[in-house]
Structure 1
Amino acid sequence: MKLSRKATLTTSILLAGGLALTGCSSPSAPADGGTTTTQEAPAKGGELTKENFAERIEKAQLNAGSAHMTMQLGDSVDGALEADIVLDKDPKKIQMQMSMDVSGMTSDIRLVDGKMFMNMGELSQNKFLDMSTMPGGAGDISAMIDQVNPGSQVGGFSAALTDFVADPKGPEIDGVKTTQLTLTLDTRKLFEAQAQTQEGVDIDTLVSTLGETIVYDMFIGSDDLPRRIVMPNAGGVGTGTVEYSKWGEPVKVEAPAADELADASALMG
């Protein structure tokens, strides 16, 4: 019931470089499920720099409170993911509903109240599995929460940075002018900053597969919110892209009802 190795690697890399961006903890209060509107950048926000970009992007995401995200998994993986996400400093308040169509398998994944549920169509009898009851499930849940929580890796992202280039004349995306950030990250330091990695993917494997460094191109709007992240082909995994939209729009994720849950032990045989 697992994704292919390339799909798992690509998803880990994209998530690690996406909403997990952190610098240092923001003093701003988190939004409640996107009930606030996206904050416009201050008139004198100034240029994004190596010293301030992570903190500013983290703060902007928490102020927005929610987003829609689309991930293309790259040339070597057939499929895409779409997700609506609620962001919060408190990991227990992180929410996400993700629709995933990878290699012909369609899944509905929900992260709510610290639990993760997955419906894999016929493979799960068209019902949801409570992943906390599956072998290794707790680790997968912790990894997912870490990867989408802007406050979970304080200082980790900046610590992995080995080179930083900012181009204020980035492309216009969905009518928004962007600054293009080209970031070179130490692969080992990036993933060591995470409390957990997805089951079956260890840091040594990531480094040997992807190389010592990973390069991300990030396109940031004048409000300090990401509009696009592109990861060039690394280690044969393939180019991956994350598109962001609907920042600050209300998002509500509901856990499956009792009659929508499958007996995980029975399915394990």
Structure 2
Amino acid sequence: MKHSWKKMTVVAALTLTAGFGLAACDGDDAKSDDDKTGSESEGSEGGVELTADNFADRIGEAQLDAGGSQFELTVNTAGQEFTATGAQTPSEDPEEVEIEMSASAVGMDMEMLVVDGSMYMKMGEMTGGKYVQTSLDDPQYGATVEQLDLGTQLKTFEEALVEFEATGESEEIDGVDAAEYVLTLDSEKVMEDLGQDLSSLEGSGVELPETMEYTLFVGDDDLPRRMVANVDLGAGSSEMTMDFFDWGTGADVEAPSADEITTENPFAGVL
């Protein structure tokens, strides 16, 4: 089970960074590098497709204007399926980012809340039916408050972006004609920016690929509608699909009360 948890942790980290990272791009420092490629042609807003130079600006601005969305997430890895539904509300202030998520993985139902700079996780019997609270700057969980900050997330994507392609194809998703874009990211740079200790993967059967490819579907309003990835982790591939819908609804999260929180660490000896 320990190895399964490690694999699920890596995939969840990569998935949430990409999914919520795209939701957190503001693009103030956007720029192109010689080793990044992109295309520009007739397409979405203003008759111009997203490019490596402008996708962060435009997606970030659109999501902030929309005020959040609902989402559905499915990850299949190491013979295990992780499914989740929830809502997210992005913000330029990491203390104001809100996420609520219900998930099921490895035979366990889970709940996660992010509010006021803290993350709360309820994992059934593993947490005694209560929430475990952690500050988002706790490195043990591979995420920091800064990683929810728009500028920092954008920096992660810029530093990890190897190639950006507008395929010219589109797909109708939830009644929206969404253009297809393929982003190739440097896996090691993504994990390093997440604060993940790569040496912890030794002996787990997890082999991080050199690059990861994400396919993103974006509407004419510059809002993402779906993200798809297939990541080879050495001991079998991991497939992920994340859908975003009902833009403008977002999350409205209240922190659990003190009697709903446990101080015991459910991850001791597991990860």
For Structure 1 versus Structure 2, the TM-score category normalised by the shorter chain is 0.7 to 0.9
Moved more, 174-183 or 150-159: 150-159
Does the 8 A contact of 2:7 with 2:77 survive in 1?
A: no
- Secondary structure of 1:152's counterpart equals helix
Q: 1:92 pairs with 84, 91, 95, which one?
A: 95
Question: Is the CA contact 1:168–1:178 (under 8 Å) kept in the aligned structure 2?
Answer: no
> In the alignment, which residue of structure 1 is the partner of 2:253?
253
Q: Secondary structure at the match of 1:101?
A: strand
Q: For 2:198, give the aligned amino acid.
A: D
- The offset of 1:79, in angstroms, is 2.5
Kindly tell me: are residues 256 and 164 of structure 1, through their superposed partners in 2, closer, same or farther at Cα, counting changes over 3 Å? same
Offset, 1:174: 0.6
2: CA distance, partners of 1:122 / 1:205? 26
Contiguous gaps of at least 5 residues in structure 1 = 27-40
Partner of 2:224: 226
Determine if contact 1:78/1:102 at 8 Å carries over to the other structure: yes
1:244, distance to aligned residue in structure 2 (A): 0.8
Say whether 1:202 aligns with 2:198: yes
Which residue of the partner structure matches residue 192 of structure 1?
A: 192
Written as runs of structure 1 = structure 2, the 5 A alignment for 1:89-238 is: 89-132=92-135, 138-140=138-140, 143=143, 145=145, 148-194=148-194, 196-197=195-196, 201-202=197-198, 205=201, 209-235=207-233, 236-238=236-238
Equivalence for 1:63: 65
Structure 2 runs not aligned, ≥5 long = 30-42
Distance 2:266 2:173 in 1: 47
Q: Which residue of 2 aligns with 1:48?
A: 50
Q: Which residue of 1 aligns with 2:32?
A: none
Distance 1:184 1:263, change over 3 A: closer
Supply the distance in 2 between the matched residues of 1:266 and 1:24 (Cα, whole angstroms): 37
SS at match of 1:17: helix
Q: After the TM superposition, list the runs of 4 or more consecutive aligned residues in structure 1 that deviate by more than 4 angstroms.
A: 144-149, 203-206, 265-268
Are the structure 2 counterparts of residues 60 and 43 from structure 1 closer, same or farther at C-alpha, using a change threshold of 3 Å? closer
Change (3 A) 1:74 1:42: closer
Aligned residues: 246
Please report the TM-score for the alignment, with normalisation by the length of structure 2. 0.79
Q: How far is the alpha carbon of 1:47 from its aligned partner?
A: 1.2
**Matched residue SS, 2:46:** coil
Taking a change above 3 Å as real, the CA distance of residues 232 and 212 of structure 1, as seen in their structure-2 partners, is same
Which amino acid counterpart does residue 212 of structure 2 have in structure 1? I
Provide the alpha-carbon RMSD of the alignment: 3.1
Which residue identity is paired with 1:82? T
Alpha carbons 1:107, 1:118 under 8 Å: kept: yes
Q: Which amino acid aligns with 1:59?
A: E
Cα pair 1:86 1:94 within 8 Å, conserved: yes
2-side partners of 1:13 and 1:114: how far apart?
20
